[in-house]
Amino acid sequence: MKTISINLNKNRAYDILIGRDNLGAIGTQLKAMNVGESIFIITDSKVGGLYAERLIDIFRKAGFHDTDLARFPHGEKSKNIKTYTELMTRLAKFDGGFNKNVLVVNLGGGVPGDVGGFVAATFNRGVNYVQIPTTLLANVDSGIGGKVGIDFHNIKNKVGSFHQPVLVFVDLSLLKTLNLREIRSGLAEVVKYGVIADPPLLGYVEKHVKDILALNLDVIEPIVEKSYRLKARIVEQDEKDTRGIRMVLNYGHTIGHAVESAAGFKYSHGESVSIGMVCANDLACEIGIFNRPEAERIETLLSKIGLPVKIAHCKLADIIRFLKHDKKSVNGANRFVLPVKLGKTEIKSAIPPELIKKVLKKRMA
């Protein structure tokens, strides 16, 4: 297994272990780390059906005899207060008021990761948790960094916290059951890393699209490693998103989140980010800080991957309404991460609302 370390202050540093067909090693790994005695697994209906029994068996063999499993219906629509409350209720019952040193283990994509992380952040004012990311998106992005939370009144990640895991355990062979739509979604975040920080990564994806979509793990593994390393270095410099460094990860997410909400989650997160990135590029070109050929290169790649670059499933007015709720707005003005060239971005806040509207209108299908 390969190890990437995230170096954070105090006791918040942790390792990301990356391997294939290595899930069997997680039990002994956690025993050796001594990070909890009773295990509460949080997963969704789909991933739980595929992998939970195996995981419980692995834990049992490693000597974890007190385990519980909570599943919720898969998908973004479950990332809400109802699921959070149900998980909390079940976890409180499992703990039984004994403070029995519970370790939360999140098995799944970004949704179980974010909700489960928020449960871990808030139960007993914070307990240890582990991420076992099972989507490409979670294996390049959401699995690390400690941003945890839920959507609230359909506003993305409105309620949440920062709580770092004690371990991120990647078994890439778990990706083998992913469908094509989810692989495409994960690639949107990889394109994001290429644009904001690593143009060669963009070239790599352009070259290997076919193999990636066919889930060739030899081609995917370097992407996971590269993306996690890029994010790890950013998180190390700005863990709580207060220094304007981590904000770069939001490229494509301002409009992306608004579209995701306005469309009632008919678009996956990655699909929304794809739309958000082409809109951000359009804005950057309109204000004259980015050039069309580079914007077109990104759009061509997104289309080749099979990600949307036009907006359907929602009304322009709803996108604008959700844009106003963006957490990163300051005094009512959205802040956009815009590219100035491949590998370099700037944060812009004084963009006239009419220009945002014009760009969105042009992208409506």
Q: Which residues bind ligand NAD (CB under 6 A)?
A: 44, 46-47, 50, 74-76, 79, 108-112, 114, 134-135, 137-138, 141-142, 145, 147, 156-157, 174-175, 177-178, 182, 185, 268-269
Question: Which is closer to ligand NAD, CB of 228 or CB of 290?
Answer: 228
Task: Report in angstroms how near the CB of residue 133 gets to ligand NAD at its nearest.
Answer: 8
Closest to 35 in 3D by CA, of 172, 110, 152, 131:
131
Task: Report in angstroms how near the CB of residue 180 gets to ligand NAD at its nearest.
Answer: 11
Question: Which is closer to ligand NAD, CB of 138 or CB of 187?
Answer: 138
User: Using DSSP, how many helices (H) and how many strands (E) does the chain show?
Assistant: 14, 11
Question: Which is closer to ligand NAD, CB of 174 or CB of 202?
Answer: 174
Task: Report in angstroms how near the CB of residue 358 gets to ligand NAD at its nearest.
Answer: 27
Question: Which is closer to ligand NAD, CB of 46 or CB of 327?
Answer: 46
Question: Which is closer to ligand NAD, CB of 297 or CB of 335?
Answer: 335
Task: Report in angstroms how near the CB of residue 288 gets to ligand NAD at its nearest.
Answer: 30
Question: Alpha-carbon distance 256 to 238, whole Å?
Answer: 22
Question: Which is closer to ligand NAD, CB of 76 or CB of 198?
Answer: 76
Q: Strand 102-108 to strand 38-44: parallel, antiparallel, or no bridges (unpaired)?
A: parallel
Q: Which residue has the tokens 């949704």?
A: 111
User: Which residues make beta-bridge pairs with 106?
Assistant: 42, 131
Query: Half-sphere exposure of residue 241, counting CA atoms within 13 Å on the CB side?
Result: 14
Task: Report in angstroms how near the CB of residue 106 gets to ligand NAD at its nearest.
Answer: 10
Other beta carbons within 10 angstroms of residue 201's beta carbon come to 21
Task: Report in angstroms how near the CB of residue 79 gets to ligand NAD at its nearest.
Answer: 5
Give the residue at shortest CB distance from ligand NAD: 110
Structure tokens at 272: 């929304």
The gap between the terminal CA atoms of the chain, to the nearest Å, is 45
Q: 236 φ, ψ to 5°? A: -60, -35
Q: Based on C-alpha coordinates, what's the Rg of the chain?
A: 20
For residue 47, what are the contacts with CB-CB under 8 A and spacing of at least 6?
Answer: 74, 107, 108, 109, 112, 134
Structure tokens at 304: 């080749």
Structure tokens at 128: 């240890």
Question: Which is closer to ligand NAD, CB of 141 or CB of 198?
Answer: 141
Q: What is the DSSP letter of 106?
A: E
Task: Report in angstroms how near the CB of residue 182 gets to ligand NAD at its nearest.
Answer: 5
